Amino acid sequence: MVGTTMQQATNASSTANADPDGLSPARRLRAILGGAAGNLVEWFDWYAYAAFTLYFAPVFFPKGDQTSQLLQAAAIFAVGFAARPVGAWLVGIYADRAGRRAALSLSVGMMCGGSLMIAAIPGHATIGPWAGLLLLLARVVQGLSVGGEYGASASYMSEMAGERHRGFWSSFHYVTLVGGQLLALGVLILLQRTLSVDALAAWGWRIPFVIGAMLAVFVFWLRRGLDESDSFKSADRKGVRGGTTMTLLREHPRAVATIVGLTAGGSLGFYIYTTYMQKYLVNTAGFSKSTASEVSAIALIAFMLLQPVAGWLSDRIGRRAMLIGSFGGGALILWPVMTGVAEGGSAGTALLLILAALALQAGYTSIGAVVKAELFPTHVRALGVALPYAVANAAFGGSAEYVALWFKAEGIERGFYVYAITLMGVSFVTALLMRDTRRHSRIHED
């Protein structure tokens, strides 16, 4: 009798401490951390390749000058990027059929395997051309992993975030994405200051991939203990199984088109201001490499901190209003930002211009994941979030740097500004035509 009374009291206490949507704060926080931690590890490993290419390229591609070595390593980077839509498709289908938790464990497990491969592959001097081929294989595995992670983690975090604060909690998806990039940059700076150039070239470049694999093992263990989302469990109890690609395209063409439209300008803007801008500061504005790196790092930190603020705001004023402001403002400000930076004034002025652009960009990145998740029912949500995003991201985001440099090489650099403004205009019109997903969300079970 006493035990029963104590159990009832415990249950009552848990209910009292739970949010109105039924999840206790501890359970919700654990779910968000589990989804976010894996995302950080995924993007740390992804960016570590780019950060350390200068050191390991000669190990795998010893022939030719430094430029040709970097080009060969960059080609493998591009192949990994191309693998992301395939990973989005495969892991998205798996997440909708086997569950979010299983898919999250699979994606981080693949990233662990890819990172360990890069850390352990012997160089060209030991195994000849097989070194480059194995590096390509490892990068494909990483590409599949990152592509699959986006849909699974975006769906899971959105489903576990709760209706009232879904924008805020889901914004940590991009906090960890940018955080992974910053962490990779931080490891590079640390190793550059503690190891000689010869040591870094000989073996030190392998360290970040070992770190990434170890972190992935920890996240894999963490994710195995996560709760499955109530949205997926509810659909599973009703016998609603994951849909196919044809089901997605046939039953949800408008949602798919909406994601492609939003991603076109959103992804391009992200890559302009977070990756291409560092080269633009040097190549066009005339800043030193060290100054460009410092400006980019400060801008990334500020951008990361803006994500929860913008996510919280979307819970107050709505997702659609945030997207309209982000793309409309982004299209208007892009020309003065790029031309202002190009004038090569002070680093402080360049930083302020970039921060203004990133503040508007945060209106999209902070809620990109949750908006996509809210567009689809549970049984096709992970696939619906991942596949159209990955395809559009590869087409418009992955090509951003190449397109920008092509315009510059042709002597019409400002043509790239027109191209970017046009795509942001497409995203602006897409946002105007869509319904506010905060009020019309397809996520019903919290």
3-state secondary structure of 439: coil
Alpha-carbon span 33 to 104, nearest angstrom: 13
Question: What's the pLDDT at 17?
Answer: 46
Residues of the chain predicted below pLDDT 50: 1-18, 20, 446
Question: What's the pLDDT at 2?
Answer: 42
Render pLDDT for 107-148 as a digit per residue (tens, 0 to 9). Answer: 888 888 989 999 999 988 888 889 888 988 988 898 888 888
Question: What's the pLDDT at 238?
Answer: 64
**Do the first three CATH levels of 28-242 and 247-438 match, i.e. the same topology?**
yes
**In the chain, domain spans:** 28-242, 247-438
Render pLDDT for 341-352 as a digit per residue (tens, 0 to 9). Answer: 998 789 999 999
Question: What's the pLDDT at 188?
Answer: 84
H/E run at residue 288? none
Question: What's the pLDDT at 294?
Answer: 85
Options 1.20.1250.20, 1.10.10.60, 3.30.565.10, 3.30.590.20; CATH of 28-242? 1.20.1250.20
CATH number for the segment(s) 247-438: 1.20.1250.20
Question: What's the pLDDT at 93?
Answer: 87
Q: Is 265 exposed, middle or buried (0-12, 13-18, 19+ CB in 10 A)?
A: buried
Contact by Cβ (8 Å): 383, 247: no
Alpha-carbon span 44 to 62, nearest angstrom: 26
Alpha-carbon span 383 to 18, nearest angstrom: 30
Place of tokens 């010869």: 198
From residue 347, alpha-carbon distances to 200, 282, 287, 297, 368 in Å are 30, 11, 8, 13, 30
Render pLDDT for 162-203 as a digit per residue (tens, 0 to 9). Answer: 778 888 988 888 898 888 888 888 888 888 888 888 898 889
Q: Is 201 exposed, middle or buried (0-12, 13-18, 19+ CB in 10 A)?
A: middle
Question: What's the pLDDT at 1?
Answer: 45
Question: What's the pLDDT at 344?
Answer: 77
The dihedral over CA atoms of 180, 184, 186, 192, expressed in degrees to the nearest 10, equals 180
